[in-house]
Amino acid sequence: MPSVIGIDASRALSAAPTGTEGYSYHLIRALLPRLTDYRVRLYFRSAPGSGPTGGADGTSPFWTAPHVEPRVIPFPRLWTHLRLSWEMGLHAPDLLFVPAHLLPLVRPRRTLVTVHDLGYRYFPAAHPWRQRLYLEWGTRRDARTATHLLADSRATRDALVREYGIPERKITVAYPGYEATLQPVRDPARLAAVRARYEISDPYVLYLGRIQPRKNLERLVNAFARLLPDHPALTLVLAGPPGWLEQPIRAQVQALGLAERVRFPGYIAPEDKAALLSGALVFAFPSLYEGFGFPVLEAQACGVPVLTSLTSSLPEVAGKGAWLVNPLEESSIAAGLDYLVRDEGMRRYLVARGQENLSRFSWEATAETVAGVIQTLMA
Q: What would the pLDDT profile of 321-356 be if each residue is shown by its tens digit?
A: 999 999 999 999 999 999 999 999 999 999 999 999
**Does one domain contain both 367 and 348?**
no
Query: How would DSSP label each residue in 219-267?
Result: HHHHHHHHHTTT-TT-EEEEES-B-TTHHHHHHHHHHTT-TTTEEEEES
Q: How many distinct structural domains can be found in the chain?
A: 2
Sign of the torsion angle spanned by Cα atoms 145, 376, 292, 279: negative
What angle, rounded to 10 degrees, do the helices at 129-145 and 154-164 form?
Answer: 90
- Check whether residue 195 and residue 98 sit in a common domain: no
d(CA 210, CA 162) in angstroms, rounded, equals: 28
With a pLDDT cut of 70, the percent of the chain lying above it is 97
Domain identity same for 128 and 23 = yes
The reply to whether 231 falls in a domain is: yes
Confirm whether 317 is domain-assigned: yes
Question: Over the stretch 201-215, which tens digit does the pLDDT of each residue have?
Answer: 999 999 999 999 999
pLDDT reported for residue 54: 44
341 and 213 co-located in one domain: yes
Q: Are residues 354 and 309 in the same domain?
A: yes
- Three-state SS for 143-210 is HHHCCEEEECCHHHHHHHHHHHCCCHHHEEECCCCCCCCCCCCCCHHHHHHHHHHCCCCCCEEEEECC
Band (243; pLDDT cuts 50, 70, 90): confident
- Domain of residue 294, CATH code: 3.40.50.2000
Burial class (CB in 10 A: 0-12, 13-18, 19+), 30: buried
Residues 297 and 374 both lie in one domain: no
Per-residue pLDDT at 292: 94
pTM reported for the whole predicted model: 0.91
* Higher pLDDT, residue 20 or 171: 171
Domain membership flag for residue 182? no
Q: In 3D, which of 369, 357, 361 has the Cα closest to residue 306?
A: 357
Structural domain containing residue 97 = 4-177+362-378
**Has residue 52 got a pLDDT over 50?**
no
13 belongs to a structural domain: yes
Residue 143 maps to a domain: yes
**Mean pLDDT of the 269-275 span:** 95
